[in-house]
Amino acid sequence: MLYALLIYEKPDDFARRDSPVESETYAGAWRAYHRALLDAGIFVSGKPLDAPETATTVRVRESKRDIQDGPYSNTKEQLGGFTLLELPSLDAALEWAARCPAASYGVVEVRPIAVEMEPRVTVANSN
Amino acid sequence: MQIRIDEPAHRAVEAVARESYGRLVALLAARTRDVAGAEDALADALVAALTTWPRDGIPKNPQGWLLTVARNRLLDHARHQQVHEHSTPTLKLMTRQFDETADPDTWPDERLKLLFVCAHPAIDPNIHTPLMLQTVLGLDAVAVGRALLVAPKTIGQRLVRAKNKIRQARIAFEIPTPDQIPERLKAVLNAIYAAYGNSWEDASGADQRITELGQEAIWLARVLREQIPDDPEVRGLLALMLYCESRRPARRSADGRFVPLSDQDPKDWCMPIIEEAEAELTIAFQMRRPGRFQIEAAIQSVHAERAHTGRTDSAAIAAFYDQLMQLAPSVGGAVARAAAHAEVRGPEAGLTLLDQIDSQAVISYQPYWAVRAHLLRQLNSAEGAADAYDRAIGLSEDPAVRDFLTERRNRLTPQ
What pLDDT does B85 receive?
A: 58
Angstrom distance (rounded) from CA B368 to CA B383: 17
Nearest CB to A32: which of B149, B150, B394?
A: B394
Angstrom distance (rounded) from CA B111 to CA B97: 17
Beta-carbon separation of B402 and A35 below 8 A: no
A127 lies in some domain: no
Angstrom distance (rounded) from CA A26 to CA A13: 9
Kindly identify which residue of chain A lies nearest to residue B364, measuring between CA atoms: A40
Contact B354/B371 with Cβ under 8 angstroms? yes
Beta-carbon separation of B363 and A40 below 8 A: yes
For residue range A64-83, list pLDDT tens digits in order: 999 999 999 888 999 999 99
Query: Cβ–Cβ contacts within 10 Å for residue B171, how many?
Result: 19
Contact B218/B242 with Cβ under 8 angstroms? yes
Kindly identify which residue of chain A lies nearest to residue B407, measuring between CA atoms: A25
**Each residue's pLDDT tens digit in chain B (415 positions)?**
444 555 788 888 888 887 788 889 988 888 788 899 999 999 999 999 998 998 888 898 888 999 999 999 988 887 877 666 555 555 555 554 555 666 666 667 788 889 899 999 999 988 998 998 889 888 888 888 877 888 989 999 999 999 999 988 888 888 888 888 888 899 999 989 988 876 555 444 444 445 667 888 898 899 899 888 999 999 999 999 999 999 988 988 999 899 999 999 999 999 999 999 999 999 999 999 999 999 999 999 999 999 999 999 999 999 999 999 999 998 989 999 999 999 999 999 999 999 999 999 999 999 999 999 999 999 999 999 999 999 999 999 888 999 999 999 999 976 5
A126 lies in some domain: no
Residues of B in contact with A35 (CB under 8 A): 390-391, 394
Residues of B in contact with A1 (CB under 8 A): none
What pLDDT does B1 receive?
A: 47
Beta-carbon separation of B391 and A95 below 8 A: no
3-state secondary structure of B179: coil
What pLDDT does B209 receive?
A: 46
**Helical (H) or strand (E) element with A59:** strand A56-61
Contact B386/B409 with Cβ under 8 angstroms? yes
A20 lies in some domain: yes
Beta-carbon separation of A103 and B391 below 8 A: no
A26 lies in some domain: yes
What pLDDT does B204 receive?
A: 43
A52 lies in some domain: yes
B217-251 in b/e form (b: 16+ CB < 10 A) is bbebbebbbeebeebbbbbbbbbbbbbbbbbbebb
Residues of A in contact with B406 (CB under 8 A): 25, 28-29
Angstrom distance (rounded) from CA B14 to CA B388: 49
Mutate to test the interface with B, among A104, A105, A108, A109 (most CBs of B within 10 A): A104
Residues within 8 A of B (CB atoms), A 6-35 only: 24-25, 28-29, 31-35
Nearest CB to B149: which of A29, A37, A94?
A: A94
Dihedral of the CA atoms B384, B390, B395, B397 (nearest 10)?
Answer: 130
Residues of A in contact with B403 (CB under 8 A): 25
- Residues of the domain holding A56: 2-121
A31 lies in some domain: yes
Beta-carbon separation of B394 and A35 below 8 A: yes
Distance from CA of B306 to the nearest CA of A (A): 33
Kindly identify which residue of chain B lies nearest to residue A96, measuring between CA atoms: B395
Assessment of whether the complete model's pTM goes beyond 0.80: yes
What pLDDT does B206 receive?
A: 45
Angstrom distance (rounded) from CA A102 to CA A26: 10
ipTM of the complex: 0.82
Domain with residue A61: its CATH number is 3.30.70.1060
- Split into its structural domains, chain A has a count of 1
Residues within 8 A of B (CB atoms), A 102-121 only: 103-105
Contact B43/B70 with Cβ under 8 angstroms? no
Compute φ and ψ for B98, nearest 5 degrees.
-80, 175
